Every structure is written in C-alpha cells, then in structure tokens.
Amino acid sequence: MKNKIVICRCEEITEQEIIAVIKQGYTSLDEIKRILRCGMGHCQGRSCQMIIARILSRMTKQPIEKIIFPSSRPPLKPIPIKTLAKYKTTGEHK
Ligand code: FES
C-alpha cells in the first residue's frame, strides 16, 4: 500500500499523515510535532525528526539548513523515574 510508510515509529505516524498536515499549511517542524505528536515518543525524535525535516524540505522547496528544529528540553534521554526520585530526595545524582 503506497504511503503507508511509518516515519515516527514511537507514535506510529505515517508519511501520508505528515504530508497531509503540510498540505494544510503547517510548515514548521514544531507545528507538525504539536499536531501529530511525532517526535514526542520514547526516542524524543532522535529517529524521526531528520526524516520529517527532509519531507518538509522537499514539500516546501526550502533547503534543509533553513528548517528550524524544535528546541530540546531535558531530559535529553529517557531516564527511569526512580533516578529522578532519588535526585529529588537526596539532592544528589548518584
Ligand atoms: S520515532 Fe518519532 S518520537 Fe521516536
């Protein structure tokens, strides 16, 4: 089946869905992220963000260097909640 290519595996977002929102006029990675939740999964966009940027670049005919990536917020990698809990109670990260 054409265009059933999953781009964001964490949130199961397909290329077709990404193209549809770009055609609706959402032309920034941040907008696409907020609407589809791609980039908000377990990997926090490390797997899909660049692919989505390339799709956006191709469809909007702007160089990939001009695509603005959403700002990253800590934690940059998923960490176990017990690590955060330990940090909060002791004030130290061990
Ligand atoms: S593949 Fe998109 S957030 Fe992980």
Per domain, the residue ranges of the chain are 6-90
Per-residue pLDDT, 73:
74
DSSP per residue over the chain, as a string?
-TT--EEETTTTEEHHHHHHHHHTT--SHHHHHHHH-TT-STTTTTTTHHHHHHHHHHHHT--GGGPPPPPP-S-SS---HHHHHHHHHHSS--
Q: State the distance from the centre of ligand 1 to the C-alpha of 89, rounded, in angstroms.
A: 31
Ligand 1, CB within 6 Å, residue ranges = 8-11, 38-39, 41-43, 45, 47-48
User: What average pLDDT values come out for the chain (94 residues) when binned by 10 residues?
Assistant: 84 97 96 94 91 97 94 77 77 59
Q: What's the CATH number for 6-90?
A: 1.10.10.1100
pTM, entire model: 0.78
